[in-house]
Structure 1
């Protein structure tokens, strides 16, 4: 049966993707609670300082506009609804890359719709990605993927797609440092295609990169944790093997099991890192331009994450970074690039040994998907009860509300 990416299929894709994401952590929908900065920073600052003032505040050295906009929007709703609206917004953002890759705009890059849907499924089911799931704080990682896809996709003359492209580029450019990496990629695409729309996207990303660059220069040093990196070649190899290649295939739990081997894991990590890097280099030499550029973007994200991570305020960063479950958000895009390369290697024109390697790796990945499918349920901190207390509190009262992860709090001054 021939598949057509018409509106019926797009609706089916959205519903299916939504169901998949909710199934990985149902409480995100059925017992919605704030996660970390969602409550402590975005909502609290929008409420306490006002929507406009909070919008122009950088966090962690750069602007995070998508989080600020969502927090501003939910100010028009009761506090009780806020976590649910946060989570729903984050889930919709997660779905959009699948929606785009299934559209006709990727039919020239990947003619087979089944292959595009397969990639979309791998993206939704990617192991070792709980930290980027259904929360606004880390939604900018998904926006970065979406912005990269917009740059690489075939331009559309339809107004709805053009509005979509501009919105994604501007939101992503002002919601994290990724525009600094994406602007050069957009420049390459424009130089080779010489299309007016590619130039417009380049301008948007360049503007975002300039704004974020200024914010990083002015506030980045003073607003980030300054614990030493503790970088060594051995730790670099372990991070690459454990957090990117192993975690993408056998999940966080499987990677944790293998990396717990006290004798000989350094040798295992070297072998895994060399094998994965070899596939990456082969992609850079033989893959279509768009996949090469996406892989370069992912490598840039990996490098940027290693240079400026925040996972501890006391211990050198790399000492913890190699341990599965640490800094999960940093590895999301590199892992996605890795499994995309594996999918490309399945193509009939690739060498048989590489096809076989990719098949074996993707079959192994089924185990990682299964063991990492369900994310841990958030601790039930009785948010409904606290939201009721906040409503009943007198004006001027400071109300402290516990949020996830346990130990975090949100402070609101009732007005």
Structure 2
């Protein structure tokens, strides 16, 4: 387990060393979490953003707020990486029945991805979603410590992002299937957090509608482009693939997922839950972007939305290694193609230095600071007040 954790961190470092060597704020880290924690204190824990709550992100911002502004990026990045590492280590729990656990852990860092979901506060909610998937797959808690830990994870992660809404039906099905008190309590907690998020969404301004009309062909193209093409082809090949080919890949993806979920055999419940979680995230993404799917015409556009589906596809493939015959060899081949796709674009996009210390000195002096620049091209202002 320790070797796997070390290898995981080494891969992350190799793909984007500046995350460790020069931690920086990212997107909403500055204008939302840093500024509001600084300005409103503990009250900011109850604030929603983009129509829903991000409790863990707010909590990290609140804990980091007393620090010198110079240290805030390191705190955000460091704690975000610790949460990710905790999820990785949880894969080795005896309560989880995943095969080839070191491979499943490394897959989180090795999938073809832009890396925007890793090493920043804004996108930590996607890591929390993996934590909820872990709860979904894990055996029932058997000790008081495990019960309390599961409850905290369900509440904190359930109130961080909208994934409790997507996974609540799966936890309910899990409770019905197991018929145990532990699974029922966990389902109730997730449903409660989903209810809070749904209420918040219902009382928030609607997302501006785009101009596109969603079609079945557009969904097939999107699925083919952002899952099999992005996972198993080098980036240049995926971008150059004819739209008709991507349509076919999208249809084949749906068929493959259905067969994977429902074909009889070993570990059917695990396969069903993984596919259901993957489909829930994909369906929510398509619904969210239904009027603007062309925003995904490049592989690095909105890749955070594909982080969970890509990881779960990798886990499903790794699960096939323990099967016999053609399933074993086909999943091994697919994983080889996945790794080759990653190798062709090994280095995450380099993050330019936005010179946060220059702004931090002025923030600590209580100045009003405008034009603070963050990756990936965000600019915000600090209202100005003495932080001590």
Same fold per superposition (TM over 0.5): yes
In structure 2, do the counterparts of structure 1 residues 62 and 280 end up closer, same or farther at CA, with 3 Å as the change threshold? same
Residue 63 (structure 1) shift: 0.6
Q: Give the alignment partner of residue 310 of structure 2, picking from 335, 352, 369.
A: 335
1:413 is aligned to 2:384: yes
**In the alignment, which residue of structure 2 is the partner of 1:227?**
210
Q: Out of 281, 288, 300, which is 2:280 matched to?
A: 300
Q: Which residue of 1 aligns with 2:359?
A: 386
SS of alignment partner, residue 52 of structure 2:
coil
Residue 122 of structure 2 is aligned to residue 137 of structure 1: yes
Match of 2:5 in 1: 14
Alignment of 1:72 with 2:74, yes or no, is no
Query: Deviation string for 1:74-101 (max 9, x for gaps)?
Result: 1121111111111111112222232111
Partner Cα distance (1:158, 1:370) in 2: 43
Matched, 1:120 2:100: no
**What is the match of residue 34 of structure 2?**
43
Distance 1:306 1:243 in 2: 12
Aligned to 2:166: 181
8 Å contact kept, 1:249–1:361: yes
Residue equivalent to 1:236: 219
Task: Determine whether 1:377 maps to 2:377.
Answer: no
Corresponding position: 1:150 with 2:135: yes
Q: Is the 8 A contact 1:301 1:334 kept in 2?
A: yes
Deviation at 1:198, TM superposition (A): 0.9
Cα gap change, 1:210 to 1:278, in 2 (>3 Å): same
Q: Give the C-alpha shift of residue 398 in structure 1.
A: 4.4
Q: Contact 1:138/1:329 (CA < 8 Å) preserved in 2?
A: yes
Ranges in structure 1 where 5+ consecutive residues have no aligned partner = 1-8, 311-315
2:84 counterpart of 1:94: yes
SS of equivalent to 1:104? coil
Query: What is the distance in 2 between the residues matched to 1:18 and 1:220?
Result: 39
Task: Give the match for residue 346 of structure 1.
Answer: 321
Distance 1:65 1:122 in 2: 27
Please tell me whether the aligned partners of residues 47 and 412 of structure 1 are also in contact (alpha carbons under 8 angstroms).
no
TM-score scaled by length of structure 1:
0.86
What are the superposed Cα offsets for residues 283-333 of structure 1, whole Å, 9 maximum, x if unpaired? 1112521221121111011111111139xxxxx511222431111111111
The 3-state SS of whatever aligns with 2:333 is helix
The corresponding residue for 2:249 is 272
Gaps of 5+ in 2: none
Asked if 1:282 corresponds to 2:259, the answer is yes
Assess, with a 3 A threshold, how the Cα gap between structure 1 residues 26 and 184 changes in structure 2: closer, same or farther: same
CA RMSD of aligned residues (A): 2.0
Scaled by the length of structure 2, what TM-score is found? 0.92
- Residues 256 and 414 from structure 1, CA distance in 2 versus in 1: closer, same or farther, beyond 3 angstroms? farther
Q: 1:309 to 1:164 in 2, by over 3 A?
A: farther
Per mean C-alpha deviation after superposition, the further-off stretch among 85-94 and 229-238 is 229-238
Q: Tell me by how many angstroms 1:215 deviates.
A: 0.3
Is the contact between residue 234 and residue 266 of structure 1 (CA under 8 Å) also seen in structure 2? no
Contact kept, 8 Å, 1:399 with 1:414, in 2: the verdict is no
How many angstroms apart in 1 are the aligned matches of 2:101 and 2:378?
A: 41
Q: Check whether the contact 2:29–2:121 (CA below 8 A) recurs between aligned residues.
A: yes
